[in-house]
């Protein structure tokens, strides 16, 4: 994904930069988001490989649409040595591409904004996913009952607002991550944690 960065510096200062930088990128990003039921697991593996602790990796990757938040974290960690890992976590949470890293780098090169201003602007406000299901998928709860040893309550947490049996696929694959408790794998794979845009 490439975004055109154009801004005129006038009396409006950094606000003009922010407005012009975001408009084209947001529209382009909406068209390119795809979901992968195993996305949270791939994201988690990338984040842990980048030395993010387990709990923060789960926080970063919960309900991720792909591995993008993990890739964003790893790239930002390598690129922005002066930025604290907590700030990078904030920047990359819900990312659907490397756009937050590109945005931060561009604004950082201008040199007029604080770290907090750049992170607030460049952070994905809401991951772009399909609209929430009106009714949770019965295939998800059925799969959880048949193929996992989850309690009914945990299966309900995993499948709440699910669109398919994808969370069960994610959970089963996540069982191979022996360092994570079942509750953390449920948290990682549940689609109900996704933020949705309303139109």
Q: Which two tokens stand for residue 147?
A: 């193929």
Would you say residue 163 has pLDDT above 50? yes
199 lies in a domain? no
Q: Which of 97, 122, 147 is the last residue of a domain?
A: 122
Are 35 and 64 in a shared domain?
A: yes
86 lies in a domain? yes
Residue 128 CA: distances (Å) to CA of 26, 131, 176: 10, 9, 28
Q: Which two tokens stand for residue 89?
A: 């976590």
Are 22 and 80 in a shared domain?
A: yes
More confident residue, 197 or 114: 114
Are 113 and 179 in a shared domain?
A: no
Confidence band of 13 (pLDDT split at 50, 70, 90): very low
Query: Which structural domain, as residue segments, surrounds residue 70?
Result: 14-122
What does the alpha-carbon distance between residue 45 and residue 58 come to, in Å, rounded to a whole number?
10
pLDDT in tens, 90-139: 999 989 999 999 999 999 999 889 999 999 999 987 655 566 556 788 99
User: φ and ψ at 78, to 5 degrees?
Assistant: -70, -35
How confident is the model over 54-65, as a mean pLDDT? 94
- Residue 127's pLDDT is 54
Q: Which two tokens stand for residue 165?
A: 């049996």
Are 148 and 66 in a shared domain?
A: no
What does the alpha-carbon distance between residue 45 and residue 107 come to, in Å, rounded to a whole number?
29
18 lies in a domain? yes
**Residue 65 in contact with residue 79, Cβ under 8 Å?**
no
Are 100 and 41 in a shared domain?
A: yes
Are 22 and 63 in a shared domain?
A: yes
Confidence band of 30 (pLDDT split at 50, 70, 90): very low
What does the alpha-carbon distance between residue 64 and residue 180 come to, in Å, rounded to a whole number?
17
Rounded to the nearest integer, the mean pLDDT of the chain is 82
Per mean pLDDT, which of 11-20, 21-30, 72-81 is the most reliable? 72-81
Are 114 and 144 in a shared domain?
A: no
Relative orientation angle of helices 85-92 and 99-110, to the nearest 10 degrees = 120
**Residue 199 in contact with residue 166, Cβ under 8 Å?**
no
pLDDT in tens, 39-51: 999 999 999 999 9
pLDDT in tens, 145-161: 999 999 999 999 999 88
Query: How many domains, in total, are found in the chain?
Result: 2
């Amino acid at each position: 994904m490439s975004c055109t960065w154009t801004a005129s510096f006038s009396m409006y200062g950094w606000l003009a930069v922010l407005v012009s930088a975001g408009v084209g990128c947001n529209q382009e990003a909406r068209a390119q988001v795809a979901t992968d039921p195993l996305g949270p697991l791939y994201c988690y593996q990338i984040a842990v490989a980048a030395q993010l602790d387990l709990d923060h990796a789960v926080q970063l990757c919960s309900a991720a649409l792909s591995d993008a938040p993990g890739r964003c974290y790893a790239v930002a960690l390598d690129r922005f040595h002066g930025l604290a890992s907590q700030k990078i976590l904030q920047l990359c949470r819900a990312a659907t591409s490397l756009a937050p890293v590109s945005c931060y780098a561009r604004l950082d090169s201008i040199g007029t904004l604080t770290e907090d201003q750049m992170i607030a602007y460049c952070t994905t406000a809401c991951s772009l996913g399909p609209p929430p299901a009106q009714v949770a998928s019965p295939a998800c709860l059925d799969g959880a009952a048949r193929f996992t040893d989850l309690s009914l309550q945990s299966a309900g947490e995993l499948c709440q607002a699910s669109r398919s049996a994808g969370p069960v696929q994610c959970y089963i694959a996540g069982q191979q991550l022996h360092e994570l408790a079942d509750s953390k794998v449920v948290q990682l794979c549940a689609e109900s944690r996704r933020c949705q845009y309303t139109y």
